[in-house]
Amino acid sequence: SSEVLEAIESVIEDVLKSLAQNKAPVLTLANRSDWRNIEFKDSVGLQMIPHSTTRQIRSDCPSSAPRFALMLKILSMIYKMVQSNTYATKRDIYYSDTLLFGSQSIVDSIINDISCMLQIPRRSLHILSTTKGFVAGNLSYTEEDGTKVNCTYSATAVAVPSNVQGIKNLISHAKFILIVEKDATFQRLLDDDFCTKLSPCIMITGRGIPDLNTRFLVRKLWDAFQIPIFTLMDADPHGVEIMCIYKYGSVSMSFEAHHLTVPSIKWLGLLPSDLERLNIHKDVLIPFTKQDQNKLASIQKRPYIACQPLWKRELEIMAASKLKAEIQVLTSLSSDYLSRVYLPNKLQFGGWI
């Protein structure tokens, strides 16, 4: 916490120095959404280069002055929270003054900018994000406040904790972790008792694009247990994008890649080649939109695809067919095909890439 306070004091000191010299204060931060500032490392994923290009948020420019003011406002809120050892969610910050902030997305973006500028993980800024992910299966742990959580005997999933950093005493006999893209598929596997039928496992869903807590939990479980992690996604560009976020991280959070990525994650399904292999009828597949084509083309150009020849091949199959499939397409074979046939066969015979 002293590191956070010192970092904020240093920013404010620079603002005061500028004012003392009759100069307009500026806040300088790395340009975190520019691919030119990102390098790909096999062992980490997408990470920010040490000397990246920066952008300035000026106090004397009409277009950036409001953002400058909001950054100082949130810095002062963080400073008070760290001093008093209290926490707030991003929603709490927005609702503390909705008129001033304007929208939740502005608050979210400023918090990420501050984290990047101070080079301090967002968790250390005492800001928690509301979790949307769920975890189930063979896992128990203790939360920071001493609450014991046992996912093993729970018929329903447990919400991913909002302070993943604080959880301890992680215990599991799981043989693997399965990341499921969608909540509906996750619930279906839970209903089919998938976590205990085949072999003990842990299931996680970020319910679409994962929030930071879900990504951080996947990383924490990987560090704790070093067991295989598989992904179960729709066979479409959006599903591939989500899987890449878990595995390699995202451009906008590349400055925190070390805590969030697990490059050893494997793609279990739904593979584009599975659709052909299982004779899935074309009628149940969905034609690509222009947006799908653009998304796939952008993924194919990314640095990490070049070092994944098998992934590259699957993306080529998808591009050639211009068709996509949701995991639910397997119900066209039989209602419980996913949990009874597809996943057991894949896991037993190594059908992942």
pLDDT in tens, 106-133: 998 899 889 888 888 777 888 887 778 9
User: Is 179 a residue whose pLDDT tops 90?
Assistant: yes
37 plus 171 within the same structural domain: no
138 plus 204 within the same structural domain: yes
335 plus 221 within the same structural domain: yes
113 plus 244 within the same structural domain: no
Picking from 95, 128, 161, the residue at the C-terminal end of a domain is 128
User: Is 255 a residue whose pLDDT tops 70?
Assistant: no
Q: What is the mean pLDDT of the chain?
A: 87
pLDDT for 252 equals 66
120 plus 179 within the same structural domain: no
Residue 267 belongs to domain spanning: 134-349
Number of domains the chain is built from = 2
- Over residues 57-69, the pLDDT tens digits come to 888 888 888 999 9
**pLDDT top residue among 244 and 257:** 244
User: Is 238 a residue whose pLDDT tops 80?
Assistant: yes
pLDDT for 156 equals 76
Q: Which residues are catalytic?
A: 95
- Over residues 17-62, the pLDDT tens digits come to 999 999 999 888 877 767 777 777 777 777 777 777 788 888 888 8
115 plus 229 within the same structural domain: no
pTM: 0.78
User: Is 70 a residue whose pLDDT tops 90?
Assistant: yes
Separation between Cα atoms, residue 103 and residue 97, nearest integer Å? 10
42 plus 114 within the same structural domain: yes
Picking from 113, 128, 143, the residue at the C-terminal end of a domain is 128
123 plus 138 within the same structural domain: no
pLDDT for 133 equals 92
Look up the CATH number of the domain holding residue 95: 1.10.10.10
Separation between Cα atoms, residue 306 and residue 287, nearest integer Å? 26
pLDDT for 204 equals 94
27 plus 117 within the same structural domain: yes
